[in-house]
């Protein structure tokens, strides 16, 4: 069952979305060679609590940290560690989900670490971000969920990249993951119809090589099956009663 939100409820979700945006903006200033993913975790944790929020990932289904940090070939759900240090040329996705006023705001970006970024890493990250922008523009009342996946596939596959199948976007609200599921691959005109009141994430994970993934023995860290790079961007979006599509996770 999809929990449709009133305009008032969508307004009430905006503080969580704004905090997610503020976190991702603030992280631009701290992500550099030499810092550990644990430092990113601790920054996200204190920033969130100081502003009256709660970190949804912490203890979610046993996840041990406050944020997901996914470096290079890690597709998603990377676990911050004091032993993992960023180096020049890495790419890292940071996925934040603050809870503010009882509502979740879920967003992520992939950042470049330092300045020696390979051409393929740059192309992958830029294509992934663009695929999310185009997918958001593809959301219109009366359209269907398959329009999102088709748009993302068209944006990246021509460049030789692939769309991860094993993880999907999701409805979101007072709970972290609600119906519907939002696959990032699909066929235009297929799937459920978009309607006012829907609030969901779009979070394409795009691989340099094949779309296969595997989960490491820690039970969380998802990596590319072929060891090549993966990038991800995520926004939480809402469809107003007027049909207007609003990005709750900024920019503000
Ligand atoms: N933020 C992730 C998402 O986009 C979910 C992370 S679940 C966690 O849906 F437990 F790993 F934090
Ligand atoms: Co999400
Ligand atoms: Co997320």
Question: Which residue do the tokens 């199948």 mark?
Answer: 165
pTM: 0.98
pLDDT tens profile 80-93: 999 999 999 999 99
Q: Is the CB of 112 under 6 A from ligand 1?
A: no
Which CATH number covers residue 90? 3.90.230.10
Instruction: Identify whether 252 is part of a domain.
Output: no
Tokens of 36: 């550990």
d(CA 186, CA 193): 14
Query: Does residue 126 belong to any structural domain of this protein?
Result: yes
In a domain, 229, yes or no: yes
* Residues 25-40: tens digit of each pLDDT: 999 999 999 999 999 9
Determine, yes or no, domain membership for 73: yes
Which residue range(s) make up the domain with 107?
Answer: 7-247
CA angle 84–95–202, rounded 5-degree value: 145
78 lines ligand 1 (CB under 6 A): no
Q: Distance of alpha carbon 49 from its chain centroid, rounded?
A: 21
Q: Whose CA is nearest to atom 4 of ligand 1?
A: 106
pLDDT tens across 84-134, in order?
A: 999 999 999 999 999 999 999 999 999 999 999 999 999 999 999 999 999
Selection from 39, 90, 36 nearest residue 66 by Cα: 39
The answer to whether residue 2 is domain-embedded is: no
The mean pLDDT value for 52-73 works out to 98
Phi/psi at 205 (5° precision): -105, 120
Quick check: is 65 in a domain? yes
Residue 1 lies in a domain: no
Residue 208 lies in a domain: yes
236, 107 Cβ separation under 8 angstroms: yes
CA of 173 to the centre of ligand 1 (A): 14
User: For the chain, what is the domain count?
Assistant: 1
C-alpha angle with apex 22: 17 to 26, nearest 5 degrees? 150
Residue pair 149/183 in contact (Cβ under 8 Å)? The answer is yes
97 C-beta closer than 6 A to ligand 1: yes
Cβ of 147 closer than 6 Å to ligand 1, yes or no, is no
């Amino acid at each position: 069952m999809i929990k449709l939100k009133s305009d008032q409820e969508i307004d009430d979700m905006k503080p969580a979305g704004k905090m997610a945006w503020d976190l991702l903006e603030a992280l631009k200033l701290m992500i550099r060679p030499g810092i550990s993913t644990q430092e990113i975790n601790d920054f996200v944790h204190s920033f969130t609590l100081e502003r009256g929020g709660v970190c949804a990932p912490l203890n979610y289904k046993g996840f041990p940290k406050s944020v997901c940090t996914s470096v290079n070939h890690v597709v998603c759900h990377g676990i911050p560690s004091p032993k993992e240090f960023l180096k020049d040329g890495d790419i890292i996705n940071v996925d934040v989900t603050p809870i503010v006023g009882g509502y979740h705001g879920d967003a992520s970006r992939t950042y470049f670490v330092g300045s020696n970024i390979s051409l393929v890493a740059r192309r992958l990250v830029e294509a992934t971000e663009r695929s999310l922008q185009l997918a958001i523009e593809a959301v219109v009342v009366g359209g269907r969920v398959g329009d999102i996946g088709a748009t993302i596939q068209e944006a990246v596959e021509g460049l030789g990249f692939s769309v991860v199948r094993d993880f999907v976007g999701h409805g979101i609200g007072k709970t972290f993951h609600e119906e519907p599921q939002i696959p990032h691959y699909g066929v235009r005109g297929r799937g459920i119809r978009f309607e006012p009141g829907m609030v969901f994430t779009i979070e394409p994970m795009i691989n340099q090589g094949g779309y296969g993934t595997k989960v490491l023995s820690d039970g969380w860290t998802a990596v590319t099956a072929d060891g090549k790079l993966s990038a991800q961007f995520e926004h939480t979006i809402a469809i107003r009663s007027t049909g207007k599509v609003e990005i709750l996770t900024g920019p503000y």
